[in-house]
Amino acid sequence: MAERKIVDGRGSFCPGPLMELIAALKTVEVGDELEVLSTDKGSANDIPEWVNKVGHEYLSTREENGVWYIVVRRKK
């Protein structure tokens, strides 16, 4: 079963959470999932755009108490 790793970008601003996601993607296997935690709404919009652009898989976004949880899967 694919692993899911948490990337805690809370408290940072654009493009901090995105850059943390990209660094984390290099440390996981193809097929693994990453869940980015962000308090920056701009990043919650930007991360799915980036994921789709470069060919990974965007799975979901939910918001809870001012924190966005964005789940993506490494595809390559």
Partner 1 sequence: MSASKICVVVVSGSLERLQMAAMVASVAAVSEHEVLVFLSMNALPHFVKGAAAAAPAEGEMGRLMAEKKAPPFKMLFEQAAALGSARIYPCSMAMDVLGVDKAALEDYLEEATGLTRFLDLASGGQVWTF
Contact pick of 2, 4, 6, 23 for partner 1 (by CB under 8 A): 23
Is residue 76 involved in binding partner 1 (CB under 8 A)?
no
Question: Least distance from C-beta 1 to partner 1, angstroms?
Answer: 28
Does position 58 interact with partner 1 (CB under 8 A)? The reply is no
Whole-number Å distance between alpha carbons of 69 and 72: 10
Single out the residue of 27, 13, 24 nearest to residue 71, CA to CA.
24
Selected from 8, 16, 57, 58, the binder of partner 1 by CB under 8 A is 16
- Footprint of partner 1 on residues 30-49 (CB under 8 A)? none
- Just list the catalytic residues: 14
Q: Is 14 in the site for partner 1 (CB under 8 A)?
A: yes
